Structure 1
Amino acid sequence: MPMLNNFRDKEFLDQITILNEISGSKNPDALPGLLELLKNPVGDTSIDYMVVNALNAVLSSNEDKVVQGLSDAHDGYKILCIRVAGEYAIKKAAQPLVALAETETDLDRLMEILTSLARIADDTALPIFRRFLHHEDAFIQSSCIEALGKLEDPESIEHFKNMIIESEAPDRFEVCDITTWKAVDALATYNSDETITFLVEKLHHKNPTVRRIITDALIDTGARCVPMLLSVFKTGDTDNKILAANVLGFLRNKLGADGLVAAFDKGLADDHNVRYAVYEALGRIGTMKGIICLVDGLSETEELILLAVIGGLEKHINPGMISTLSTKIINADEQADRLAQGVIASKATGIFDALYETQGAADALMEALVASNDPEIIEEFKALLTEIGGPRAERDIQRLPQLSASARKALAADDSRSMCAMHRAILTDLGFEPFMASNGEEAYDFIEQGEEFDIIITDMNMPVMDGMELVGKVRSTPGLEDIPIIMVTTESEASQQNLAEKAGVTAFITKPFKPDELKAKIAEVTA
């Protein structure tokens, strides 16, 4: 090609211009010259890199040349053609790539070939993917699992199931390996009753990271898994019901909400932890039946459950609910005190605003607010009162205490808003400045930002980064080897407690618990 004549003798900027023009035009006439430059590099890193990019562009529109290049004697060009075949999903390259995979002994090269075949996603490659499912290299196995899932290979379903079952073996469940992770994702791609039912059955996998992956996979699956999740309330144990309710809440599906209410009415959610999870889920979904169930939940006396009820209602304020809540708070009995404290602890500013119009309810709420030891809560409601305005609001603002942040700091991580509210109330009562996070990643961000804590409290099951992973990261951070960590969870199995202890948890407290129990545990580990 004339443009590449005497290329090596040209100025640097001219060389760049020429290669950019070839990349844009994808002119096949440039292929021989580019190939020569690839096999005999100029020696300038920038130019040599641009040669590869130009070759990639030219090959992208010349499928026959890509297929021919798969058998080229030059390793660099051969690998480039392998990658281009996958990048542009060149179907006619599938069979030659399968032939290469059958004889390839270099693991890195084999991985390149399988990756391209996976991207092409042609049934021609099914036998080779099945063959390497048993390969000793975990990454090659994973590539094949992913490809077979993408191709929805029916012969592989049982193999994927067995991989997940075997990952719960006593000598394996403590670690989530990449093949288990990929097997879960692969089963989810089938989106069939069989595979979804299996994943729902494994919601309470022994490994918390696998639980998180299964939860995420079911949420991505969507409404299709609602019937399977609801069936857990008839056949599952407490832990499975809690996790099923969590997934249904994140799915925000009306049928899921109706099913949760039905389970509640049939007495299938009598356990405290299950009831708490159902209320949280109904708050996320927000159907009429769900809101009615939450309004009925205003009679709950357990603090954490009541926080879940109020937190759910805060998202779905309506006149009927406000009227009921106002009547209950004006009663001035023990339950009225619990409700007023719950509104404040939950930072339910919407409910507060609506109730403030009624004198008796407003007085009860102000008593609870004045009694708060949390500077952040005081400031948040002070801002709301300023916005409401008027003589009464101004007088109430004057009643608010002037609080300063504590010298002691505590970090709490939980994906439940109501649980975070309880942690916040407990920690401020104990004189800590609380830092709240909805998952392990958010919690660790505080640490990376330089915050120093006297104690960490974490849930085990959370999205994005679970409690076990958070504990591992904290314990591997210089200076945090001995910081007290309390893990709060619904787990009841001894194996889960053993996992927490091995990861570096200082103390383990199981729901349901009273605030005083957690206070005692905090005092114990920080003494």
Structure 2
Amino acid sequence: MATLDAFRDKEFLDQIMILNEISGNKDAGDLPGLIDLLKNPVGDTSIDYMVVNALNAVLSSNEATVIKGLSDPHPGLRTLCIRVAGEHGFRNAAGPLADIAASETDPDQLMEILNALARIAAPSATPIFRSYLDHEDPFIKSTCIEALGRLKDEDSIDSFKAMLVDSEAPDRYEICDITTWKAVEALSSFERDDTIGFLVEKLHHKNPTVRRIITDALTSMGKSTVPMLLNAFETGDTDTRILAANVLGFVRDRSGADGLVAAFDKGQADDANVRYAVYEALGRIGTMKGIICLVDGLRETDELILMAVVGGLERHVNPGMVSTMTAMVAQADDQSDRLAKAVIATRATTLFDALYENAGAGDALMDALVQSRDPEIIDAFRAVLADIGGSRAEEDILRLPQVESTTRLALAADDSRSMCAMHRAILTDLGFEPFMAANGEEAYDHIEQGGRFDVIITDMNMPVMDGMELVGKVRNTPGFEDVPIIMVTTESEASQQSLASKAGVTAFITKPFKPETLKAKILEVTGG
């Protein structure tokens, strides 16, 4: 007796047991009965849903029936067979699906077919994907872009490049649409010199979100991007040099560090923002040449740049560097004060531990530490002093201030450790409790978790979620429509302030900046 005989006459629980049994057995003999139940539902939503699931399970082991069902007049069965073909990668279904796609006029059905073809990933479907690259529906278009990227269709490369060029048109660059995003990802899949070179050329795209996507794509490609990035650093403008250095730091390849040091020695990092980016990158990579360059950077006088240097050295402490730094911090001059403040602000506990052994350096560090109003920083160094132990450390622990709690809260987002340290120091000095984030996504997590902030500070260019996207999400969050947002940009990015203002930015700070400048801006937007 067939499993589904008199199915409609059975009790509800019996029907459920039968359908569960069919899903597990996947017996092709049950297909006629299941198809009949699909075309002529029993009328109970739960049972009808389970029929679809059971039919899906049985079809997954019956490719021939799936291919036959692709042309069935019943729309429900036809759509189910399309999905099963894609989900289980039935390669023999690629030809029939491509034939159907060629004449399909319904966008929703076409999307189903293209998704299935994309999952099957049969090279024979390449012409169909190419034929819909100009489709008006962005999701259909993006599906084809993604599929052609996975199939590494070299004949589509020029189309992808054209999409990226078009995305910078005056009437388009304010929005990063899904097709631009997929075009970048598709280009990155080839990893050829011409595609890498093109993405590097577009590293300073007019749209910040596209810049972030290109940065992520180049970072994911890794070492193969280094020669093109170094060339861009040597020949590009200030913006390009900053962004190229950032990506080289994210890639973390030794040849990238060596190339940056060579460019530095040629005088190609004279601009303060470029120099800052190079120090950050060298700190992330950590080669011997890079560390030597960072040690030389201990003579920098700009507070923010010096934080980048100290933050980079904190990752790669060695005896030679400690010896040089000890002598400089113990010297009791203006640079000694700057270095000590940088060690404290960046929470460089490993460096602090190494430098504290020298009484002169230790005194300079403690003088900087007792000026801090940041309870987290004070607690971090209190723990280091406790580990060091001894009467001197115990006396210094007693010098540490007790910081009163505050009800004023601030949120700051930046992928740069030294920039976060600068923001933290400024905010605590002004009496705010700072909440820090390495990117826009982390920052927005604080908001989603119920954080209520008196001011928000964000960088423009960050991985994962850039500042522009963060601002848009914040402004669309109830209760945050009027919270002051300060965006940090580089000198040349000031040309995009109009774009950021439209998104909801309250005020701007241009790097490099002095702490007093940001303090004044925070007081201005918060009313003092």
Structure 1 length normalisation: TM-score?
Answer: 0.97
User: In structure 2, what is the equivalent of residue 450 of structure 1?
Assistant: 450
Read off the aligned partner of 1:141 and give its amino acid letter. Answer: K
The SS at the match of 1:473 is helix
Give 1:494 deviation, angstroms.
5.1
The SS at the match of 1:2 is coil
The SS at the match of 1:339 is helix
The SS at the match of 1:3 is coil
Whole-angstrom distance in 1 between the partners of 2:55 and 2:190: 37
User: In structure 1, what is the equivalent of residue 489 of structure 2?
Assistant: 489
The SS at the match of 1:152 is coil
Read off the aligned partner of 2:515 and give its amino acid letter. Answer: P
Whole-angstrom distance in 1 between the partners of 2:520 and 2:188: 43
User: In structure 2, what is the equivalent of residue 196 of structure 1?
Assistant: 196
Whole-angstrom distance in 1 between the partners of 2:405 and 2:277: 32
The SS at the match of 2:93 is helix
Whole-angstrom distance in 2 between the partners of 1:111 and 1:28: 28
Whole-angstrom distance in 2 between the partners of 1:26 and 1:296: 70
User: In structure 1, what is the equivalent of residue 276 of structure 2?
Assistant: 276
Whole-angstrom distance in 1 between the partners of 2:262 and 2:45: 67
The answer to whether residue 353 in structure 2 is matched with residue 353 in structure 1 is yes
The answer to whether residue 343 in structure 2 is matched with residue 343 in structure 1 is yes
In structure 1, the gaps of 5 or more residues are none
Whole-angstrom distance in 1 between the partners of 2:290 and 2:21: 62
Give 1:491 deviation, angstroms.
5.0
Q: Which moved more, 1:339-348 or 1:438-447?
A: 438-447
Read off the aligned partner of 1:418 and give its amino acid letter. Answer: S
Whole-angstrom distance in 2 between the partners of 1:3 and 1:288: 73
User: In structure 1, what is the equivalent of residue 308 of structure 2?
Assistant: 308
Q: How does 1:259-338 map to 2 (within 5 A)?
A: 259-338=259-338
Q: Is the 8 A contact 2:484 2:526 kept in 1?
A: yes
Q: How does 1:404-415 map to 2 (within 5 A)?
A: 404-415=404-415
Whole-angstrom distance in 2 between the partners of 1:331 and 1:14: 87
Give 1:10 deviation, angstroms.
3.1
Q: How does 1:178-257 map to 2 (within 5 A)?
A: 178-257=178-257
Whole-angstrom distance in 2 between the partners of 1:27 and 1:199: 51
For 1:93-117, what per-residue CA distance to the aligned partner results, in whole angstroms no more than 9, with x for missing partners? 1111111112211110010001111
Whole-angstrom distance in 1 between the partners of 2:508 and 2:6: 73
For 1:143-174, what per-residue CA distance to the aligned partner results, in whole angstroms no more than 9, with x for missing partners? 11111111111221111111111111111111
User: In structure 2, what is the equivalent of residue 395 of structure 1?
Assistant: 395
For 1:344-399, what per-residue CA distance to the aligned partner results, in whole angstroms no more than 9, with x for missing partners? 00001111111122222111111110111212211211122222222221111111
In structure 2, the gaps of 5 or more residues are none
CA RMSD of aligned residues (A): 1.4
Q: Paired residues, what number?
A: 527
Read off the aligned partner of 1:164 and give its amino acid letter. Answer: L
Q: Which moved more, 1:445-454 or 1:115-124?
A: 445-454
Structure 2 length normalisation: TM-score?
Answer: 0.97
The SS at the match of 1:410 is strand
The answer to whether residue 420 in structure 2 is matched with residue 430 in structure 1 is no
CA, structure 1 residues 494+275, in 2 after alignment: closer, same or farther (shift >3 Å)?
Answer: closer
Whole-angstrom distance in 2 between the partners of 1:109 and 1:470: 35
Q: Is the 8 A contact 2:23 2:54 kept in 1?
A: yes
The SS at the match of 2:174 is coil
CA, structure 1 residues 341+493, in 2 after alignment: closer, same or farther (shift >3 Å)?
Answer: closer
Read off the aligned partner of 2:83 and give its amino acid letter. Answer: R
Whole-angstrom distance in 1 between the partners of 2:299 and 2:494: 34
Whole-angstrom distance in 2 between the partners of 1:15 and 1:290: 70
Read off the aligned partner of 1:84 and give its amino acid letter. Answer: V
User: In structure 2, what is the equivalent of residue 6 of structure 1?
Assistant: 6
Read off the aligned partner of 1:189 and give its amino acid letter. Answer: S
Give 1:406 deviation, angstroms.
2.3
